[in-house]
Amino acid sequence: MSAATHETEHHTSLGLDNRKLLMWIFLASECLFFGSLLSTYLIFKGESLSGPGTDIFAFEITSISTFVLLMSSLSMVLAVYGAQHGQLGLMKLMLLCTILLGLVFLGFQVYEFKTFASEGLTLSTNQFGASFFVLTGFHGCHVGGGVIYLGSLLIASVRRNGIGKETPLYIDIGGLYWHFVDIVWIVLFTVVYLIPAY
Amino acid sequence: MAEMDAVHDAHDEHPTTTIREYLLIGLALSVITAIELVMSLYDDALGAILIPGLLIFSAIKFIIVVAMFMHLKFDSIRFTQIFTFGFVLAAALLTAVVVLFAFDASDAIGGGFIGDPIEHHD
């Protein structure tokens, strides 16, 4: 009996796959993580006594990066669709698209951070800078981790034997993580960039 | 046979959403984002409805992605319960922290802690 067969025969008390259950529990904990960072940002927003504030934001750049991340979420769900319907070519193509769009988003983030630093806003400038860079920096790290995660799935899928018979499950779990990164940015984009300082 | 069970589980769970429907959802998300951008550019004209409006649109996008892209609408109710629990806890935490600092009479942001005597600045 192969290890994969032995693995899939494991029965769970809830009737759900443990790996998918773990990802959902992880995402629930990540809600708390980002909730705490966001609350810290909100209490310091508009309270800095010196240094640049929210007037430093460039909406054009952030709007484009937001659209890029939204489209990456679309390509990710199409990759999951491809995996679940046996269309492995579609799955691999959409995985590649998602990774590339994620890298583009990270590129925009790096450019934004460098621009802010050149204009005098850094991690140590003021409370706004500290909370802003920690919040968006951690989100960027999650995007980077997601790119690596999806990259590993893509590499595994193009190997001779592919990921295996549980390909839909693995791609689905990867999709959950990526979509969560996107919904965090949906919230961050609105609260950090769109809502003016009060 | 047994190893197909996990694959069947995944296939059984997968929604009947078509590629066309996914593309339409993506278009809807883009349109909502564009509306939010336009709203933020006219913040003076919108006044008090700007922030609630932005939050409502943000919530709509959030729900669409969670329900349709993350398939929570089609998956087990357990996943919904788990994610909702974490989200509600995070929202409560955020609300509590913001309210605490918004209505803090000891001026903790300007210096001094809640336990310190209140200093009056001229």
Q: Is residue A49 part of a domain?
A: no
Instruction: Considering only residues B104 and B100, tell me which one the structure prediction assigns the higher pLDDT.
Output: B100
Instruction: Considering only residues B88 and B100, tell me which one the structure prediction assigns the higher pLDDT.
Output: B88
Maximum mean pLDDT: which of A86-95, B3-12, B42-51: A86-95
Instruction: Considering only residues A70 and A46, tell me which one the structure prediction assigns the higher pLDDT.
Output: A70
At A28 the pLDDT is: 96
Q: Is residue A189 part of a domain?
A: yes
Q: Please write down the HEC assignment for all residues of chain A.
A: CCHHHHHHCCCCCCCCCHHHHHHHHHHHHHHHHHHHHHHHHHHHCCCCCCCCCHHHCCHHHHHHHHHHHHHHHHHHHHHHHHHHCCCHHHHHHHHHHHHHHHHHHHHHHHHHHHHHHHCCCCCCCCHHHHHHHHHHHHHHHHHHHHHHHHHHHHHHHHCCCCCCCCHHHHHHHHHHHHHHHHHHHHHHHHHHHHCCCC
pLDDT digits 0-9 by tens, A135-176: 999 999 999 999 999 999 999 999 877 777 788 999 999 999
At B119 the pLDDT is: 53
Q: Is residue A46 part of a domain?
A: no
If one counts every other C-beta atom within 10 angstroms of the C-beta of residue B24, the result is 12
Could you give the CA distance from residue A185 to residue A188 in angstroms, rounded to a whole number?
Answer: 5
For residue B49 the two structure tokens come to 């409805």
Domain holding A130, by residue range, is 24-41+57-194
Of A133, A115, A114, which Cα lies nearest the Cα of A124?
A: A133
Residue B5 pLDDT > 80, yes or no?
no
Confidence of residue A183 (pLDDT cuts 50, 70, 90): very high
Q: Does B21 touch chain A (CB under 8 A)?
A: no
Torsion of CA A170, A35, A58, A196, to 10 degrees: 150
Of A190, A168, A172, which Cα lies nearest the Cα of A59?
A: A190
Q: Is residue A190 part of a domain?
A: yes
Q: Which residue of B has its CA nearest to A16?
A: B76
Confidence of residue A1 (pLDDT cuts 50, 70, 90): very low
pLDDT digits 0-9 by tens, B18-43: 999 999 999 999 999 999 988 888 87
pLDDT digits 0-9 by tens, A71-117: 999 999 999 999 999 999 999 999 999 999 999 999 999 999 999 99
Give A134→chain B minimum CA distance, Å: 16
Of all residues in chain A, what percent carry a pLDDT higher than 70?
94
Please answer whether residues B55 and A190 qualify as being in contact, where contact means their C-beta atoms are separated by less than 8 angstroms. yes
Could you give the CA distance from residue A163 to residue B49 in angstroms, rounded to a whole number?
Answer: 50
Confidence of residue B104 (pLDDT cuts 50, 70, 90): low
Cα B81 → chain centroid? 16
* Domain at A83, CATH number: 1.20.120.80
Q: Does A55 touch chain B (CB under 8 A)?
A: no
What is the domain count for chain A? 1
Of A86, A8, A127, A76, which Cα lies nearest the Cα of B29?
A: A76
Q: Is residue A9 part of a domain?
A: no
Q: Is residue A69 part of a domain?
A: yes
Structure ipTM: 0.86
* Nearest by CB: A183 against B2, B9, B66: B66
At A100 the pLDDT is: 98
Helices A88-118 and A167-188: crossing angle in degrees, nearest 10, is 30
Q: Does B82 touch chain A (CB under 8 A)?
A: yes
Q: Which residue of A has its CA nearest to B69?
A: A77
For residue A160 the two structure tokens come to 């001779």
User: For A86, left (φ over 0), alpha (ψ -120 to 50), or beta?
Assistant: left
Residue A47 pLDDT > 60, yes or no?
yes
Least confident of A166-170, B43-47, B90-94, B104-108: B104-108
pLDDT digits 0-9 by tens, A7-38: 455 677 878 889 999 999 999 999 999 999 99
Q: Which residue of B has its CA nearest to A17?
A: B6
Q: Does A128 touch chain B (CB under 8 A)?
A: no
Q: Is residue A47 part of a domain?
A: no
